């Protein structure tokens, strides 16, 4: 995280604060030097910075974040003022999902690798061989489908369904493609939590 405005903090008091252009270079350098590293950009950054970050190699962004104590349990109220820090990107999760779809990205809610123990050297072996796409691509599409079915508004459902249909055809492994299509079909009957 960069030094950002917060209660009792003026960014101008910090001569070593990282400006946007330098921050972009840092993101690009990390991506080039460590291509398998996940990089997360939070809602503390603006929509425009997050868009530029995604183009440079940010692999994960948050959406609809709440920073107040108990913020996910109860709706945040402006008068409560318990936020730990200010957010620059205050859009809802659904707005973020639509934005990513508009930009040509496939929003993924996948946690399969962690749940399957594909971390560390097990993950790296799949990543370096290029076989991870047989997990990531279908898992991204399936978790996006779960999201749009359970939480998306009508616009998100229409937009997301179209992207999923198109992206399923981009899966090169026919066995993976057919299995992903079958799982997505089963979701219409209320089944959930499929993963590769």
Mean pLDDT of the chain: 89
Tell me which residue has tokens 């950009």. 41
The pLDDT of residue 101: 96
Percentage of the chain with pLDDT > 90? 70
pLDDT class of 79 with cuts at 50, 70, 90: low
Tokens found for residue 30: 């990390």
Among 18-22, 50-54, 184-188, which is the least confidently predicted range?
18-22
User: Are the C-beta atoms of 145 and 187 separated by less than 8 Å?
Assistant: yes
The pLDDT of residue 149: 97
Chain segment 17-43, per-residue pLDDT in tens: 888 999 999 999 999 999 988 899 999
Tokens found for residue 130: 């290029």
Integer Cα distance of 177 and 153 in angstroms: 27
User: Are the C-beta atoms of 189 and 133 separated by less than 8 Å?
Assistant: no
Integer Cα distance of 164 and 177 in angstroms: 12
Integer Cα distance of 47 and 91 in angstroms: 9
Percentage of the chain with pLDDT > 70? 88
Q: Cα 179–94–111 angle (5° rounding)?
A: 45
The pLDDT of residue 2: 73
Tokens found for residue 89: 């990107």
Integer Cα distance of 66 and 68 in angstroms: 6
Mean pLDDT of 102-118: 94
Chain segment 128-138, per-residue pLDDT in tens: 898 999 999 99
Integer Cα distance of 145 and 143 in angstroms: 5
Q: Given a cut of 90, is residue 98 above it in pLDDT?
A: yes
Q: Given a cut of 90, is residue 52 above it in pLDDT?
A: yes
Among 18-32, 33-47, 61-75, 114-128, which is the least confidently predicted range?
61-75
Integer Cα distance of 147 and 128 in angstroms: 29
Mean pLDDT of 54-71: 84
What is the distance of C-alpha 27 from the center of its chain? 16
Mean pLDDT of 75-99: 78
Integer Cα distance of 38 and 174 in angstroms: 28
The pLDDT of residue 17: 80
Instruction: Establish how many alpha carbons lie within 13 A of residue 153's alpha carbon, considering only the half-sphere containing its beta carbon.
Output: 8
């Amino acid at each position: 995280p960069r030094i950002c405005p917060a209660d009792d903090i003026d960014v101008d008091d910090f001569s070593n604060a990282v400006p946007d252009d330098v921050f972009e270079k840092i993101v690009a350098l990390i991506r080039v030097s460590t291509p398998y590293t996940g990089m997360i950009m939070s809602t503390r950054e603006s929509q425009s910075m997050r868009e530029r970050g995604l183009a440079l190699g940010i692999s994960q962004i948050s959406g609809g974040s709440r920073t107040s104590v108990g913020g996910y349990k109860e709706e945040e109220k402006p008068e409560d003022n318990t936020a730990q820090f200010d957010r620059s990107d205050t859009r809802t999760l659904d707005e973020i999902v639509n934005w990513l779809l508009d930009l040509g990205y496939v929003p993924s809610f996948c946690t399969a690798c962690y749940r399957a123990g594909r971390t560390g050297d097990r993950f790296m072996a799949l990543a370096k061989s290029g076989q991870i796409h047989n997990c990531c691509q279908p898992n991204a599409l399936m978790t996006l489908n779960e999201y749009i079915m359970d939480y998306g508004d009508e616009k998100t459902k229409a937009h997301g369904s179209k992207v999923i249909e198109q992206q399923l055809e981009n899966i090169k492994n026919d066995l993976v493609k057919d299995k992903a299509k079958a799982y997505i079909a089963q979701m219409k009957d209320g089944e959930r939590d499929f993963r590769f």
